[in-house]
Structure 1
Amino acid sequence: MSQQTDYLALSKGARMHLKRTPDNRFYFRTSRQTKWFIWGMIALVCLLSPLLMSVVLDGGEQIFYMVVSVLLMLGAVFALGVRRHLLLNPVSGMLELETSWWGLGKSVRSKSALAKQRVVVAPIAELEAGCLLEISDQKYTIGTADEVRQLALFIHQYFAVPAFDRVAQWPKEIELQSLGGTASIHDGGTEGEQVVPGAAWVDPGAAYDSSAAIANPGAKYTSVWEQKVLLKLALPFPVFLVLGFVLSLLANKGGA
């Protein structure tokens, strides 16, 4: 199959993080761009109030809120325009950090060889299900283990980035080779490999339980709702309610 066909076959979560440009370039948004985007959205939300006040007020107060509105607007435009992309460049064989502002003034801040990178399918300790993809100190929450493996193999196949699976046999890493191919198990960086036919694709239901299950194989993951944490936190509420009612009766005792 072609690269375009394989890309369209990826899950929606995978394509949400691995973007493709019209000129067929592939990139990830970095966590720093995401932080700038969040600050930009906060500035937009905060902008609503001073904009309203600058319309309904007059005099010095109107001027003050107009200045605040302009500053927040400039901050939002700047923050939302920040672009920091991890560009997978198969032509140069480099992973490039490309920066720009609203796509203007593009420049490459750093480069590193794609062959020296690692793309890892990793578990999420806080969740019972779901996995993330690690590449160049960036983490992207994709979806199920199979969906993340599919994305890792796509990157391995078309960009020659070594792909590993840390979910199937934690804490060992399985080197993903190809669909239906072989996989090498690495035990904490020790020498020696064991070839496991077809280990690139495993049953996602048996892939991962939780960080507690790693330490104790017999442990069972218990979600926050099953632990009834919110119920335990709400237990003091009726006590304080009764205490407040009693204190109010004592305070009003003997009143008119």
Structure 2
Amino acid sequence: MGARASFCYRSAMPATPAWPPASTPRLFVDQPLGPDAAPTLDGAAAHYLLNVMRMKPGDPLLLFDDRSGEWLATVADASKRALTLRVERQTRDRETVPDLWLCFAPVKKARLDWIIEKATELGVRRLQPVITERTIVERVKRERLEAQIVEACEQCGRTALPELADPVKLPALLADWPAGRALLFADEAGGAPLARLDAPAPAAILTGPEGGFTTRERELLLQAPAVRRMTLGPRILRAETAAIAAMAAWMAAHGDWRAAGEGADAGAADII
């Protein structure tokens, strides 16, 4: 008998769609979440979900509460101005962010918003406004900054909100500085590259206002035991650029960027 070819036929099975979908809305709720919780949303959040996202009963969304991590929920009931949700399951624990503070002199409105947004995305633990001699913006609208923090956390996937401290004058900041926390002073007059400074967590970064630090402030800073002078390169940077450049450099050297990369690689290998 002649050899017979053997064929194996497989029915084409559709791939199971990801759940929840990547487009699932993600919101911060200032109330405890847990299994079978039924939070109610109204106001701006409800308006966004009902009138912008056009959500209806059964639609999924992700919630985080800055306490217990992230949770998958579905819309249980929707009226014209409010939604009742049903929490289904936890999707992530509350993250542990690197112990890095950003101490910054407040700048003009749009640029201040940019500092808050990007520092939150990069993983800062504490945001500390510092009033210096050349600070133009001395009154900070806390509610506005808190809204920027929440929005940035919703967009970047954070489950832990950074702490927002009240503004403090530079001499008071230095007088109450905690022992054991390095203070990286981004000095436009010079300093050492971050790679040559001993500044792992716990640490903080200090950046100045549009006009920079005064001579008196620089002398005060250089007398403080915790201060490490850090250079950010040969070019003059805007105040907001300096803050984010310094944070990015620290996160790459001492933060959680490498751990995140290793986790992503391991996850990809598991899927394969």
Shorter-chain TM-score bucket reads under 0.3
Q: Which has the higher helix share?
A: 1
Q: Which has the higher strand share?
A: 1
With structure 1 as the length reference, what TM-score do the two structures score? 0.26
